[in-house]
């Protein structure tokens, strides 16, 4: 059985609600349906782990409500704050948190023994769960005899063996190497399809978010910036911040006209046309243009505004950095197939962007924080 999770106007302020309080979560609304895989995505410090910990009961909010199924976990106005052990949730941590003195079997059996489940049922349930995570052969081993990936599988099995209706995941794959992360991400998605639990998953890794989420929540400074299926969020970022965090380049400009259904933007890197039609923007308004690295082409042009700062082989594609000048720190990162690249370091270039791939927003570029956490975005197919 799985249950929906509903969070309404959640607030977490350290130092109470005083004027100088630090507000970590500010008016968050989240709804994850029964059996859905909800992913909270955002940079460090955006509030995603704080939200997760309020659901678990490890942090007491300053305001708002948290409801799982028909049970109210937290309601400030009614003075309800259910203790963590009464919430019946499963939780998988970033650290594996396995008991070092217990075998794999005993680690997985631990939640069932605490609930006084009969011995024969424990043996059956633990065996089934170890088989699901492909670790049945390790039942008699101790955690220190396992690899990191195997330990995380055991931690997952221990969480799921009690059949919780809701499972919370706090960046559970971040300690693993890249290839193993992909493997366990895919296995987790398969487990979710086989065991109908509701998931609330926290990550800063967009590849994990795309691969797991049925509903994605992009957080910024303690608020939800955008919600929706991953494909929709990727292809239609609601704000320049979301586009930038998901890996898009962004640069400043001014709207100078319209040609039919196309906006014409005089940008730092030259004229860009766009079929996006942001509300409230007109000729003369300041705007920001955004486009994903694999949607920007380059042409050598002596009068072009951009300069190729670097060109590096990146495996499946060439990684090219373009700036307004060699010393300019505000740079565009472009990713193109090798056979589509005919530029070299030092070349002056102009950008070539299909109007359908150029997104336009009001304001100035934010260059979403924690850029080091944002890998080159996946080529998500529509």
* Domains in the chain, CATH or no CATH each: 5-235 (3.40.50.300), 247-359 (no CATH)
Confidence class of residue 376 from pLDDT cuts 50, 70 and 90? very low
pLDDT for 59 equals 95
Q: What is the pLDDT of residue 214?
A: 96
Task: For residue 172, name the pLDDT band (cuts at 50, 70, 90).
Answer: confident
CB-based contact 292:377 (threshold 8 Å): yes
Alpha-carbon distance 218 to 156, whole Å?
25
Tell me: the pLDDT tens digits for 199-253?
Answer: 999 999 998 999 999 999 999 999 999 999 999 999 999 999 999 999 999 999 9
- Residue recorded with tokens 């109007």: 355
Q: Has this prediction a pTM greater than 0.85?
A: yes
**Mean pLDDT of all residues in 150-164:** 89
Report the pLDDT averaged over residues 4-15.
94
Contacts of 281 (CB under 8 A, 6+ apart): 255, 263, 287, 360, 362
Rounded to 5°, the CA angle 337-338-343 comes to 110
Q: Is the pLDDT of residue 34 over 60?
A: yes
Out of 51-55, 163-167, 189-193, 309-313, give the one with best mean pLDDT.
Answer: 51-55
Q: For 178-209, b where at least 16 C-beta lie within 10 A, e where not — what string?
A: eebbeebbebbeebbeeeebbbbbbbbbbbbb
Q: Please, what is the average pLDDT of the chain?
A: 89
Residue 371 has pLDDT above 50, yes or no: no
Q: What backbone phi and psi angles, to 5 degrees, belong to 282?
A: -140, 180
Decide: 200 and 5 in contact? Cβ < 8 Å. yes
Read off the tokens for 118.
Answer: 């009969």
Distance CA 20, CA 239 (A): 29
Q: What is the pLDDT of residue 16?
A: 62
Contacts of 276 (CB under 8 A, 6+ apart): 263, 358, 359, 360
pLDDT at 382 over 80: no
pLDDT tier for residue 381 given thresholds of 50, 70 and 90: very low
Q: Would the pLDDT of 41 be above 90?
A: yes
Q: Are 73 and 85 in contact (CB under 8 A)?
A: no
Q: How much of the chain exceeds pLDDT 90, in percent? A: 66
pLDDT, position 19: 64
Whether the pLDDT of residue 84 is over 60: the answer is yes
Residue 106 has pLDDT above 90, yes or no: yes
Convert the pLDDT of each residue in 292-327 to its tens digit.
999 999 999 999 999 999 999 988 899 999 999 877
In this prediction, residue 372 has a pLDDT band, given cuts at 50, 70 and 90, of: very low
Question: Shortest CA distance to 53 belongs to which of 12, 3, 86?
Answer: 12
Could you tell me the sign of the dihedral formed by the alpha carbons of 64, 68, 72, 73, in that order?
negative
């Amino acid at each position: 059985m799985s249950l929906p999770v509903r969070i309404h106007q959640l607030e977490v302020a350290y130092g109470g609600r005083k004027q100088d309080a630090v507000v970590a979560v500010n008016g968050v609304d989240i709804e994850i349906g029964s059996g859905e895989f909800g992913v909270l995505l955002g940079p460090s410090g955006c509030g995603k782990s704080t939200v997760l910990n309020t659901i678990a009961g490890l942090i007491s909010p300053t305001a708002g409500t948290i409801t799982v199924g028909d049970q109210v976990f937290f309601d400030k106005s009614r003075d309800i704050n259910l203790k963590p052990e009464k919430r019946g949730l499963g939780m998988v941590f970033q650290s594996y948190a396995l008991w070092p003195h217990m075998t794999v079997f005993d680690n997985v059996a631990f939640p069932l023994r605490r609930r006084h489940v009969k011995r024969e049922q424990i043996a059956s349930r633990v065996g089934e769960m170890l088989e699901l995570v492909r670790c049945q052969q390790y039942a008699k081993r101790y955690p220190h005899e396992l690899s990191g990936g195997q330990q995380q599988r055991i931690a997952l099995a221990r969480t799921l063996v009690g059949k919780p209706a809701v499972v919370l995941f706090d960046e559970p794959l971040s300690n693993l190497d890249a290839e193993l992360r992909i493997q366990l991400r895919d296995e987790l998605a398969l487990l979710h399809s086989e065991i109908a639990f509701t998931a609330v998953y926290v990550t800063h890794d967009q590849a994990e978010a795309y691969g797991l989420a049925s509903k994605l929540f992009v957080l910024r400074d303690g608020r939800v910036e955008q919600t929706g299926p991953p494909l929709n969020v990727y292809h239609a970022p609601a704000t320049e911040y979301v586009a930038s965090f998901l890996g898009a380049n962004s640069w400043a400009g001014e709207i100078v006209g319209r040609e039919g259904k196309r906006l014409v933007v005089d940008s730092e890197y030259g004229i860009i046309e766009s079929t996006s039609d942001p509300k409230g923007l007109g000729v003369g308004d300041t705007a920001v243009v955004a486009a994903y690295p694999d949607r920007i082409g380059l042409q050598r042009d002596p009068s072009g505004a951009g300069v190729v700062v670097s060109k590096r082989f990146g495996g499946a594609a060439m990684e090219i950095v373009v700036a307004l000048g060699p010393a300019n720190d505000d740079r565009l990162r472009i990713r193109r197939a090798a056979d589509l690249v005919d530029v070299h370091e030092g070349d002056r270039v102009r950008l070539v962007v299909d109007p359908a791939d150029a997104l336009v927003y009001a304001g100035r570029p934010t260059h979403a924080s924690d850029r080091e956490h944002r890998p080159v975005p996946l080529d998500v197919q529509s």
